[in-house]
């Protein structure tokens, strides 16, 4: 696995890759609370490729802003692969961007369970292919991070950008 802490930082490399591909991105963030969008906008010129970040912290926000279904939330809970997938697809489609990135997890220090301990996150990345091509897709990865709430949030945000960069490359 590539070390995404290297210079230049992952948010700059993501921006370069998006610009080179003439692509755009939007994010739906739950546990990261807008941190991915903040990192992306730390890069000068990010308006060339960054559309929006929607913080969908509650169940209601996930349903209203990115189309996560009530049934999916009931069956799997907010911190789950199906919810991350629907969030990534939903923000991509609502924003009309090439890429959608989503995070849903447990930053702690409380809220974890044996099945989903504190630090558990699902990161979704969705791509919009050309209409009629059948090339649209979404992928989700589960990760577990250690640290304080703030450290976990930063690790999640940077991992989400690394997942997007991997997909772009």
In a domain, 2, yes or no: no
Closest CA to 67 of 159, 138, 144, 148: 138
* CA dist., res. 52 & res. 78, Å (int): 21
pLDDT digits (tens, 9 = 90+) for 100-151: 999 999 999 999 999 999 999 999 999 999 999 999 999 999 999 999 999 9
What CATH number has the domain bearing residue 142? 3.90.950.20
Residue 5 lies in a domain: no
Indicate the number of domains in the chain.
1
78 in a structural domain: yes
1: in domain: no
Q: Contact at 8 Å (CB) between 118 and 112? A: yes
Question: 42-95 pLDDT, tens per residue?
Answer: 999 999 999 999 999 999 999 999 999 999 999 999 999 999 999 999 999 999
Range of the domain at 153: 10-168
Assess if residue 4 is contained within a domain: no
- For 47, the token pair is 């308006």
pLDDT band at 7 (very low <50, low <70, confident <90, very high): confident
Query: Does the residue 141 lie in any domain?
Result: yes
């Amino acid at each position: 696995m590539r070390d995404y802490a290297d210079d230049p930082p992952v948010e700059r490399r993501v921006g370069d890759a998006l610009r080179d591909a003439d692509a755009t991105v939007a994010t739906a963030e739950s546990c990261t609370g807008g941190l991915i969008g903040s990192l992306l906008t730390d890069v000068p010129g990010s308006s060339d490729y960054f559309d929006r970040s929607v913080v969908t912290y509650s169940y209601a926000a996930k349903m209203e802003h990115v189309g996560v279904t009530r049934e999916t939330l009931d069956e799997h809970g907010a911190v789950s692969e199906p919810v991350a997938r629907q969030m990534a697809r939903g923000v991509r489609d609502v924003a009309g961007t090439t890429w959608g990135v989503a995070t849903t997890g447990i930053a702690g220090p409380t809220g974890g369970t044996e099945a989903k301990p504190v630090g558990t996150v699902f990161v979704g990345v969705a791509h919009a292919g050309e209409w009629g091509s059948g090339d649209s897709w979404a992928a989700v990865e589960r990760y577990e991070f250690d640290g304080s709430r703030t450290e976990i949030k930063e690790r999640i945000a940077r991992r989400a950008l690394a997942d997007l960069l991997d997909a772009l490359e």
